[in-house]
Chains A and B, each alone.
With several copies, the nearest count.
Chain A
Amino acid sequence: MFEIHREPIDVAKVVAAVAHPAAGAVTTFLGTTRDNNEGRQVTLLEYEAYPEMAIAEMRRIGDTARQRWPIQEIAIAHRVGIVPIGEASVVIAVSSAHRAAAFEACRFAIDRLKEVVPIWKKEHFDGGEVWIGSQVGDVFPGGETEPRK
């Protein structure tokens, strides 16, 4: 399951999507809206996606995870639009026979998602709003000034 929608993400549904009788471990990651960032009081986050490409990139992350770790299933759900404080913008679930693979693949999936999946975050804070990563003078998150492949 790789999906993008505007509704709140149902964690139980993402977990159910990776259920497998041979799985002894399921790990999940939820990215939630924090009430503060770099000293600013955040009021809400707003996400925008290039949905067709984002789904394709999420699917590619799943394929890479399956190649690198002996996992059973992986699912990624991303919410777009307004995500209030405390709610989840992204939920990833991974199942595997033993827990090491599920932990490592889940960590890989969120790290990679934040690097390559075309989804953008606008932070609304007391006194303004900003597209994270697009402030003037910013370069790529890793510090590169060249476009990523």
Chain B
Amino acid sequence: MRVHVLYFASLREKVMASEASRELQDGACVGDLWNTLCREHPALEPMSASVSFAVNREYASRDQALRDGDEVALIPPVSGGR
């Protein structure tokens, strides 16, 4: 299956791209995609503890299964502030 990946903010700058397409094994989950991307872009690895994910514009956990055509967004910590 193929998924569409969106990078934002600090992650976009680290990979120097705002989007990409990735071929994954059937049954792959969000965490598998993240691990794949980290192997390609070791600069992502330090964000492992803080990155969140959205699948088709809904927050998703790392063990959520992916399906062909999914839009997966890598979401660094949002703006925050008090």
Whether B22 sits at the interface, judged by CB under 8 Å, is no
Total A-B residue pairs with C-beta atoms closer than 8 Å? 93
Q: Which of A47-70 touch B at CB < 8 Å? A: 47-48, 50, 52-53, 56
In the docked arrangement, what's the CA distance between A119 and B76, Å? Answer: 9
Q: Mark A106-117, 1 if CB is under 8 A from B, else 0.
A: 000000001111
Q: How far is the CB of A46 from chain B (nearest CB, A)?
A: 10
A138 lies within 8 A of B73 (CB) = no
B82 lies within 8 A of A122 (CB) = no
Whether B78 sits at the interface, judged by CB under 8 Å, is yes
Q: Mark A1-44, 1 if CB is under 8 A from B, else 0.
A: 00000000000000000000000100000010000000000000
Closest to A142 in B: B80
In the docked arrangement, what's the CA distance between A134 and B49, Å? Answer: 11
A138 lies within 8 A of B54 (CB) = no
Chain B residues within an 8 Å CB radius of A131: 9-10, 13, 76
Q: How far is the CB of A65 from chain B (nearest CB, A)?
A: 18
Given A147-B62, A149-B61, the answer on whether A118 and B77 have CB atoms closer than 8 Å is no
Whether B79 sits at the interface, judged by CB under 8 Å, is yes
Q: Which of B14-40 touch A at CB < 8 Å? A: none
Q: How far is the CB of A82 from chain B (nearest CB, A)?
A: 14
Closest to A45 in B: B79
Chain B residues within an 8 Å CB radius of A24: 81
Whether A86 sits at the interface, judged by CB under 8 Å, is no
In the docked arrangement, what's the CA distance between A138 and B62, Å? Answer: 19
Chain B residues within an 8 Å CB radius of A139: 49-50
The 10 A-B pairs of least Cβ separation, nearest first, read: A133-B77, A120-B9, A134-B10, A121-B79, A131-B10, A53-B57, A147-B52, A141-B80, A98-B82, A134-B76
